[in-house]
Amino acid sequence: MVGSEDMAALIGHADKAGAKLVLIGDPQQLGAIEAGGLFSAFADRTEPILLNEVIRHNHELDREAAKRIREGEGRDALSLYRSAERVTVAPDAEQRREAMVGDWWPAFNAGEDVLMVAKTNREVEQLNAIAREVMQAEDRLGKEEIEVGEAKFAAGDQVITRVNHRAAEIYNRERWEVAEVDAEKRRVVLEGIDQARRVEVGTGRDETFLYATPEIQSGRSEYAPMPPERDAIGHVAEASERDRVQTAAHDEALRAELSRLSMAEIAERYAKLDTPSRFEAQKADAYARQRERVEERRRQYEQAVANREAAEGLGWRERRQALPRARESEGLFRDRLSENIEKLEGMEPPRSDLRREREIADQILTKRSEQALAAARIQTPSYIVKELGQRPTDPAKARAWDRGVEGIERYRQGFGVKERGSALGAEPKGTSQSLAREAVLRALREAQLRLGRERLAKSKERIRSIERGGFGISM
């Protein structure tokens, strides 16, 4: 991913110094952000040494599929997985998750190191919930649980740490199994999965206590009448509700301008904001990639510091052997981190005005959708009742109902749908509206399935298949 300009400079320095330049890489990988192709040109015009053996996979099928994907033969790779019955196609998201957990559990229960991987955090949460139900049914989780945020953990759960805490020897992206839980003291003991290490961590949160004196209400009739009676600290509550945020005048003007627009006009403007010029997009992409490099170098440097500290704690014989290497590695990653930070500081960040306008537009769209949802809870329109029924009392089903309603209302307001007899109105006229409609329909069908309206969901799916030409009649 080295650009041609940087590559040419590197070649020039090596030639001037009389050094030998060895280039290592893969021309089939993503190209450089800047003008590139020089490395690929070298590979085409010379006889490079090729490493063709795939060693990252244990099974021959995976190795062969990886080769075909690299060579651009994705369909063939998928056919290989299908032939080995490694592809499961479920009719809906819920059954897909159940199939994943159904395949995961026997391997996990047998002690294999097996993971489920999903694209979104929401999907991960749903898979985790199903997996925990299975583990609880099989008595693989402890009875005592501790709640952290909105999640619950018990002995037997597996977790991934997301922060670095060198004093406790805990690092980002490490996997652990919960060994013990003390809900009263809010402490958990973690057993390392990727490393033989046992640590104890606390999950308690600091509490805030307030100290105040009652409001003094003296009769100052010469200035103002006696204020109405309030509770002892009503003045504190009133003060806490005042908005003291100093908003930029430009932001306020922009917010006022966008607020006067209809949902359809905001959506149209929002779409335009998401399609910056090619030059701006390249700059933003390059800046984002450099920030990722800085964070990666920072993680490497922190790990090198931890390794050096660990080496200093060894016995004198082991320390004499390990410490010099650890110090050298620490210095190397410190230099690399400094170089990447310096390069990032020299780059022009993406235009903040466009980013801020997108943020404000999104805030307005979200607020209006929330208002529509609140109104639907009070008096549910007939088109929502037709699709989802009345809002259930069961909390889980109520959340599914809310998501379905929010999707419908955002679509209706975004595309100016006014019909009361149909949730999504007439057929779309443009590509963007068609895509948005399909996304809402998928979410709506999932909500219907969660609400126990499977027959309605499947019936609507058959109708849509016929409309798309999914069925034909032979004479």
Q: How many helices (H) does the chain have, and how many strands (E)?
A: 16, 6
Strand partners, 177: 158, 191
State which of 202, 222, 251 marks the end of a domain.
Answer: 202
- Residue 472's pLDDT band, with cuts at 50, 70 and 90, is very low
Contact call for residues 2 and 289 (beta carbons, < 8 A): no
Q: How many CB atoms lie within 10 A of CB 440?
A: 21
**Number of folded domains that form the chain:** 4
Residue 416 within a domain: yes
Q: What is the mean pLDDT of residues 188-193?
A: 86
Q: What is the tens place of the pLDDT at every residue in 204-261?
A: 755 556 666 665 554 444 444 444 444 555 555 555 555 444 444 555 666 677 666 6
pTM of the predicted model, to two decimals? 0.38
Most confident of the ranges 152-156, 246-250, 411-415 = 152-156
Q: Is the pLDDT of residue 29 over 50?
A: yes
The pLDDT, as a whole number, for residue 470 is 43
State which of 202, 234, 250 marks the end of a domain.
Answer: 202
Q: How many residues does the chain have?
A: 475
Contact call for residues 401 and 440 (beta carbons, < 8 A): no
The pLDDT, as a whole number, for residue 458 is 61
Q: Is the pLDDT of residue 162 over 80?
A: no
The pLDDT, as a whole number, for residue 373 is 75
Q: Are 392 and 330 members of one domain? A: no
The pLDDT, as a whole number, for residue 234 is 59
Q: Is the pLDDT of residue 371 over 80?
A: no
- Residue 35's pLDDT band, with cuts at 50, 70 and 90, is low
Strand 198-202, strand 187-192: pairing: antiparallel
Contact call for residues 126 and 120 (beta carbons, < 8 A): no
Domain interval for residue 463: 353-467
Query: What's the rounded Cα separation, in Å, for the pair 263 and 411?
Result: 9
Residue 287 within a domain: yes
Q: What is the tens place of the pLDDT at every residue in 318-336?
A: 888 888 888 888 888 888 8
Between 162 and 446, the higher pLDDT residue: 446
State which of 333, 350, 367 marks the end of a domain.
Answer: 350
Q: What is the mean pLDDT of residues 389-404?
A: 86
Q: Is the pLDDT of residue 445 over 70?
A: yes
Q: Are 319 and 378 members of one domain? A: no
The pLDDT, as a whole number, for residue 8 is 80
Residue 255 within a domain: no
Own/partner pairs for 331-339, CB < 8 Å, 24+ apart? Answer: 332/304, 333/297, 333/300, 333/301, 333/303, 333/304, 334/301, 334/304, 336/297, 336/300, 336/301, 337/294, 337/297, 337/298, 337/300, 337/301
Query: What's the rounded Cα separation, in Å, for the pair 128 and 97?
Result: 10
Q: Are 329 and 313 members of one domain? A: yes
Residue type, position 382, single letter: S
- Residue 268's pLDDT band, with cuts at 50, 70 and 90, is low
- Residue 124's pLDDT band, with cuts at 50, 70 and 90, is confident
Residue 36 within a domain: yes
The pLDDT, as a whole number, for residue 475 is 30
Residue 371 within a domain: yes
Q: Are 35 and 140 members of one domain? A: no
Q: Are 339 and 359 members of one domain? A: no
Q: Is the pLDDT of residue 438 over 50?
A: yes
Q: Are 336 and 380 members of one domain? A: no
Q: Is the pLDDT of residue 464 over 60?
A: no
Contact call for residues 427 and 389 (beta carbons, < 8 A): no
Q: Are 345 and 372 members of one domain? A: no
Residue 114 within a domain: yes
> Closest by alpha carbon to 170, among 188, 183, 185?
188
